Amino acid sequence: MTSNSIHPTSVIDSTARIGEGVTIGPCSVVGPNSVVGDGTIVGPSCIIGPNTRLGRRNVLHGHCAIGGDPQDKSYKGEEVFLVIGDDNHIREFVTINRGTSKGDGQTRVGHRNLFMACSHVAHDCVVGDGVILANNVLLAGHVHVEDGATLSGAVAVQQFVTIGRMAYVGGHASVKKDFPPFMKEDDPSQPRGVINFIGLQRGGFSDDQIKALDEAFRTVYVRSDTLAEGIARVTASAPLSPEVALFIGSLQRSHAARDGRAREPR
């Protein structure tokens, strides 16, 4: 059994559960009914709010605050949660809020993500695995960020937007509509840019997979006059590869939505 290193100035609620090999720095707080998984490192002056579940080997740097109350006027103290997986790095001054009863009562974060300094994840968000949120990225409530996506510095994402798998969003962008998987774009207000070639290569995608995605992208955005026409032309060439099917499915759902946000309530 590996012993813990808990600084005497830290405050651990009596109902919190602390795993093995955990380090908690000076002046940090672990709230009621929270769990800190094995091997997790909590830096100085961190706050882990109530009903927060941290997996294994997470690293929380100084002054981050996770599991705080949702910043939603409808919140009236209901029991809601933040669930975080394993091997995440949460840098200085990051904030991640718990969910609300308007969602499913949880904010969820997967594994192996990097949250750079001053980024914010609001209530009811879902962040997948291997995601990077650069400095000052702001996710509004109910945003989904799928596996492998990268959001560059100071990106702001509107509520109910979905950022697709392996997407790359350039710095200072304001994302108001669903962002398709596998795409790279510096300014989402302009026509879509290119396939995220570098991200796909780093993610282990084969040349054939990347070529198929690039062909689908060009059919939709370069060779067609409208999005609907482009989607129809790609789907007419079925069977589609799994990656292209995911890409086209995302476009279909967003195109059918009133404001380009497929999950927004009507």
Q: Is-catalytic flag, 123?
A: yes
Q: How far apart are CA 135 and CA 118, in angstroms?
A: 6
Radius of gyration for the alpha carbons in the chain, expressed in angstroms and rounded? 20
- 8-16's contacts with Cβ under 8 Å and 24+ in sequence apart are 10/42, 13/50
- 144-153's contacts with Cβ under 8 Å and 24+ in sequence apart are 144/263, 146/181, 147/110, 148/199, 148/203, 150/199, 153/116
Q: Is-catalytic flag, 87?
A: no
Q: How far apart are CA 13 and CA 70, in angstroms?
A: 20
Q: How far apart are CA 135 and CA 133, in angstroms?
A: 7
Which residues have CB under 8 Å from 230's CB, separation 6+?
Answer: 219, 220, 221, 223, 224
**Given 103, 128, 141, 230, which residue is catalytic?**
141
Q: How far apart are CA 261 and CA 161, in angstroms?
A: 5
Beta partners for residue 72, in sequence order = none
**Given 63, 72, 99, 124, which residue is catalytic?**
124
Q: How far apart are CA 262 and CA 250, in angstroms?
A: 9
Which residues have CB under 8 Å from 102's CB, separation 6+?
Answer: 72, 74, 124
Backbone angles phi, psi at 14, to 5 degrees: -65, -20
**Given 123, 128, 130, 199, which residue is catalytic?**
123
Q: Is-catalytic flag, 124?
A: yes
In terms of Cβ atoms closer than 10 Å to its own Cβ (0-12, 13-18, 19+), residue 77 is exposed
**CA atoms in the 13 A half-sphere facing the CB of 91:** 14
**Would you please indicate which residues are annotated as catalytic (active-site) residues?**
123-124, 141
